[in-house]
Amino acid sequence: MKTLAQNLQEKLKASGLTQKELAERSHISQVMVHKLISGKAKESSKLVAIANVLGTTAEELSTGKIRSRVEANAEWAGPMETWDSNTPLSDDEVEIPFYMEVELAAGHGIAEAIEFHGPKLRFAKSTLRKSSVDPTRAACVRVNGNSMEPVLPNGSTVGVDTSQTNVIDGKMYAINHDGMLRIKTLYKLPGGGLRLRSFNTDEWPDERYEGDAAIKQIKIIGKVFWYSVLL
């Protein structure tokens, strides 16, 4: 029976990915990927994530056993309908402003600029209700930078619910950080502090702000309830 390392080597070669790309897409360090592929590490809690990226299962990577996985996971809903600013809204649609010039910086951040009211994005009212989002308290903005890759590549669009300012650990928020607009995953610290986390932790390590510093420097704009990525 082949080892985990051998199975990983074969799957990685078949995928055409590099070890660095596999690490980024699996949200683990490149060092851990190297240890697994070289056989220095025999297991990892991220094996399921790695398997998903490689188009296989954790069991197949560990044992080499292949189970039948014929499953329909998509449904043809027909072609996309085109529309423009002159197309009337349907009864279940609402428009949310898209601020083109005010970007949430997914890096060090950009200085807060004068908001330019650009086009609007359409959402189904039923979709917003499911997420308990009041359309009058929502806005869409563009993400700039690479710190939230691969989940939010540079140029992605996010929807922000400005009524949701209480921090839930591990959720994404738009914040005004000392005059800079940024998007980060937030975690609460004792004494009112905050930990700011990026998805691209190799280039952007966690940032810690203790109680007073967090209160003075960071204002939570709202919780990210939606994002869109074009490949």
| 172 or 17: which leads in pLDDT | 172
Given a cut of 80, whether residue 75 has pLDDT beyond it is no
Range scoring the smallest mean pLDDT among 86-90, 175-179, 198-202: 86-90
Q: How would DSSP label each residue in 57-120?
A: -HHHHHH---------------PPPP--TTSPPPTTEEEEEEEEEEEEESSS-EE-----EEEE
pTM here?
A: 0.60
| 193 or 67: which leads in pLDDT | 193
Contact 147, 140 (CB under 8 A): no
Given a cut of 60, whether residue 40 has pLDDT beyond it is yes
Given a cut of 60, whether residue 36 has pLDDT beyond it is yes
Peptide bond into 150 cis (omega under 30): yes
pLDDT attached to residue 74: 61
Q: At what angle do helices 19-26 and 4-15 cross, to 10 degrees?
A: 100
In angstroms, the CA 120 to CA 100 distance is: 10
Given a cut of 70, whether residue 81 has pLDDT beyond it is no
Q: Residue 68, by phi and psi: left (phi above 0), alpha (psi -120 to 50) or beta?
A: beta
Mean pLDDT computed over 99-112:
54
Choose among 129, 221, 133, 122: nearest CA to 175.
221
β-pair partners for 186: 171, 196
In angstroms, the CA 28 to CA 19 distance is: 11
Which range is most confident: 110-119, 168-177, 207-216? 168-177
At 110-157, the pLDDT tens digits run 444 444 456 788 899 988 998 899 998 998 888 888 999 999 998 889
Choose among 196, 179, 177, 134: nearest CA to 159.
134
Kindly report the average pLDDT of the chain as a whole number: 82
pLDDT attached to residue 113: 44
Locate tokens 């939606």: which residue? 226
Q: Percent of the chain, pLDDT > 90? A: 25
Choose among 155, 97, 109, 139: nearest CA to 224.
139
pLDDT attached to residue 111: 40
Given a cut of 50, whether residue 229 has pLDDT beyond it is yes
Contact 51, 58 (CB under 8 A): yes
